[in-house]
Amino acid sequence: MESCIFAYNIYKMRFESFKSHILSLLEARLPKELSYHGVHHTIYVLDAAIRIAAHEGISEQEKELLYTGVLLHDIGFIETYHNHEEKGIEIATPIMLNFGFLPFEVQLVNNLIRRTRIPQSATNLLEKIICDADLDYLGTDDFFPIGNMLFDEFLQYGIVKDEKEWNRLQVSFLSGHSYYTDFAIKFRKPKKEENL
């Protein structure tokens, strides 16, 4: 029992130090024109992942790796807008190794980052949680204000040219999207369908 508590405390200390480092890095280096994918998005997704993980009943070690993936899932935006997941893996790998993550942990986290690429595809519970946390807002009352931030960002980067094109994209995306976890299916899917 004592060894479990000791291991938990080590994971918790490492994660808190890692979290502080990554949030500071994102705050300093993410482009200011990212109205949606700013550090506020990472914090929102982390809060959503904590809620979903509590409901899904994963272990403390799994939580640390999941939350690490959440903190890193958009770090690639500090260097590129397109294909940011792969760039994020390049940036994240040496940071994780410097924080003492083992190679298998780094690989697991890199897979989590990769799974957030749209369209999402998840094959295990941690991947399902990070995917649902990343798009949690689709099934909340915050859908429209958060969506407006993404619309502004898409305009900035030339992904859409006007609101009409944005609305078509949103309808298509929401129609094709499915949540994975029991939590999101129960607590987010009904509101998402209402938002659609």
pLDDT tens per residue across span 15-67? 899 999 999 999 999 999 999 999 999 999 999 999 999 999 999 999 999 99
Dist. CA 196–CA 189, nearest whole Å: 10
Q: What is the pLDDT of residue 14?
A: 83
Categorise residue 38: left if φ over 0, alpha if ψ from -120 to 50, beta otherwise. beta
